[in-house]
Amino acid sequence: MTTTERPTSPPADAKGSPRTGRRIRRLAVSAALAAVVIGGLAAAVVVFQPFDEGFNGGGFANVVSTETPAVNPLEIPELLEPTMIDGVATYQLSLDASSHVFRDGVASETIAYNQTSVLGPTLLWRTGDQVSLDVTNNLPEEATTTHWHGADVPVEADGGPGSRIDTGDTWTASFEVIQPAATLWYHPHLKDLTAAQVYAGAAGLIIVEDDTAAVDALPHTYGVDDIPIILQDREFDAAGQLDFELDLDDNGDLNPELTVNGTMNPYVDVPAGLVRLRLLNGSQARVYQLSLDTGAAFTKVASDGGFLSRPVELTELLIGPGDRAEIVIDTSDGVVNLIDADFERVVELRPDPAEAGTGRIPDALAVVPRFAPDGFDNERSFVMEAVGEGWGINGQQMDPARIDETIQFGATERWTLSAPEGIHTFHVHQTQFQILEINGAPPPPEDAGWEDTVLVTGDQTVVVAARFDTYTNPTMGYMFHCHILDHEDSGMMGQFQVLDE
């Protein structure tokens, strides 16, 4: 028998934060859990530690062992194809108060899109389409917004904090899809309420398709061999309701239960062969360290902004809040579990030997022209740090009335991102950037594609490059921020304008 035990305290070098009392409470809870676990085991404790040290500083995770089969069929969000009206791909979305059974037959109150129980439909966009999305706020007494994370759209359509939708109102976003095939996502983005609304369930995936050969070759039958995997950790109170808290500590709020598309301990039936997973870390703060329980390699084919130039074989993958990655797993040898360093099971893939997968992995996926290492029009640096009671960037907290950075239209820019302490992810609206350097070294091939979100931990300096040549935004700001939602909502966000003058 294999049993598991998780580390229960932060690594020795983790910096305790005097700003709040949260870490102390968390340690008390996890020590109690550890006592229960250890008391029930007595013998044969095998430590499950695929990675040296929990990236999240000790887990706070209820482990789901892969020694026993998963119990719940993975819920697959419905695919929402556009309705074509006068040549415009039209979508209707609503934000609704809802409820979802995560576990034990108890309905937990949620916020979800389009009267689903949790999350929302997966939107299918096609490159070159003119789209129009109506978003109606049916939440009884909460304003909201809806942002298309990773999308290159005009600022009026971006759905940032300035595009508030009050109860009963409808906001319409109209734009052309000008970017290549990718996995993006959408979620509320109202100042101070982003964490609470996303945690309550409001989020969904966006699949952008184009007519490149890779789209056709890779597994691409949605819900069959092309599976959305939305990773979110949650906590339930004694009554089974979602227990939301903002944690101003270094790492943000970690929650003990893993939900995948809203499903706990899930399995999914797949063909035997290649299966593509579209991974989204839609969590408040947790970083996932993913691998396969067989130890086999898998293939990363896409980063945040679309395909890598070539497929990259990996045995582990780190995915921070806000990030996406597309991976392809070979299931021809039988059942395989995607596992995480904190939770163990993420999802069990159950191949049907009678059904052969039809996808393949092309040698070349896309043309990703790399930025030259120098010759940028401008350089900036962004330090993500504690400011006042919360968090900030370059010593300042988010102020809706202040534009922090002004960028010349058409410019290429080199940005140096750093953080003296904690775990952060830097996200920029409207553009996709490339990582030039991580601690002075060029990125590995799996991190050399287009990104809109990058992990920046307290021991890293990450240099990225972007080109701002699609839209100017003289009327309102695009956001850049940490995608640990506790940090974003406590000030770690700023605004930029691209101006042609």
Comparing CA positions, the residue from 129, 122, 58 lying closest to residue 88 is 129
Q: Report in angstroms the alpha-carbon separations of 259 from 201, 213, 263, 281, 473.
A: 11, 33, 5, 11, 37
* Contacting residue, 6, 23, 26, 149, with Cu ion by CB under 5 A: 149
Q: Enumerate residues 143-162 that contact ligand C2O by CB under 6 A.
A: 147, 149
- Closer CB to Cu ion, 414 or 487, in the complex: 487
Of 224, 135, 127, nearest in space to 187 by CA: 135
Residue partners of 274: CB distance under 8 A and separation at least 6: 218, 219, 225, 328, 329, 330, 331, 357, 359, 360, 361
CB of 52 to ligand C2O, least distance (A): 29
- Secondary structure (DSSP) of 80-144: EPPEEETTEEEEEEEEEEEEEEEETTEEEEEEEETT-SSB-PEEEEETT-EEEEEEEE--SS--B
The binding track of 309-338 with respect to ligand C2O, each residue x by CB under 6 A or -, is -------------x----------------
Considering CB under 5 A, how many residues would be counted as binding Cu ion?
Answer: 6
Give CA–CA dist 415/458, Å, rounded. 17
Residue from 291, 429, 454, 498 touching ligand C2O (CB under 6 A): that is 429
Q: What residue ranges in 162-320 does DSSP mark as E strands?
A: 170-176, 182-187, 204-209, 226-234, 257-260, 266-272, 274-281, 288-292, 298-303, 306-314, 317-319
Q: Which two tokens stand for residue 151?
A: 């999308």
Question: 138 with 97: CB under 8 angstroms?
Answer: yes
Q: Is the CB of 149 or the CB of 345 nearer to Cu ion?
A: 149
Binding partner of residue 189 among Cu ion, ligand C2O, none, CB cut-off 5 to 8 Å per kind:
ligand C2O
Choosing among Cu ion, ligand C2O, none, which partner's interface includes residue 322 (Cβ < 5 to 8 Å by kind)?
A: ligand C2O
Q: With respect to ligand C2O, which residue has the nearer C-beta, 424 or 429?
A: 429
The binder of 487, among ligand C2O, Cu ion, none, by C-beta within 5 to 8 A per type, is Cu ion
Which partner, ligand C2O, Cu ion, none, binds residue 120 by CB below 5 to 8 Å per kind? none
Q: Are 490 and 248 within 8 A, CB to CB?
A: yes
Q: Which one of 178-186, 263-271, 310-318, 475-483 is the stretch in contact with Cu ion (CB under 5 A)?
A: 475-483
The tokens describing 371, both together, are 């930025």
Closer to ligand C2O by CB, 57 or 494: give it: 494
As a whole number of angstroms, the distance between CA 325 and CA 319 comes to 8
Q: Does 487 bind ligand C2O (CB under 6 A)?
A: no
Q: Which of 286, 350, 481, 487 binds ligand C2O (CB under 6 A)?
A: 481
Stretch that binds ligand C2O, among 273-281, 288-296, 349-357, 475-483 (CB under 6 A): 475-483
Binding pattern for the stretch 174-203 against ligand C2O, x by CB under 6 A and - elsewhere: -------------x-x--------------
**Least distance in Å: CB of 308 to ligand C2O?**
21
Stretch that binds ligand C2O, among 20-28, 52-60, 88-96, 479-487 (CB under 6 A): 479-487
Q: Which does 424 bind (CB under 5 to 8 A by kind): ligand C2O, Cu ion, none?
A: Cu ion
290-315 burial by CB neighbour count: b if 16+ within 10 A, else e?
Answer: bbbbbeeebbbbbbbbbbbebbbebe
- Interface residue with Cu ion among 226, 314, 487, 495 (CB under 5 A) is 487
Q: Which does 414 bind (CB under 5 to 8 A by kind): ligand C2O, Cu ion, none?
A: none
Touching Cu ion, residues 420-449 (CB under 5 A): 424, 429
Q: How far is the CB of 149 from ligand C2O (least distance, A)?
A: 3
Exposed, middle or buried: residue 154 (CB in 10 Å: 0-12, 13-18, 19+)? middle
Please report, as ranges, the residues that interact with ligand C2O according to CB under 6 A.
147, 149, 187, 189, 322, 427, 429, 479, 481, 483
Please report, as ranges, the residues that interact with Cu ion according to CB under 5 A.
149, 424, 429, 482, 484, 487
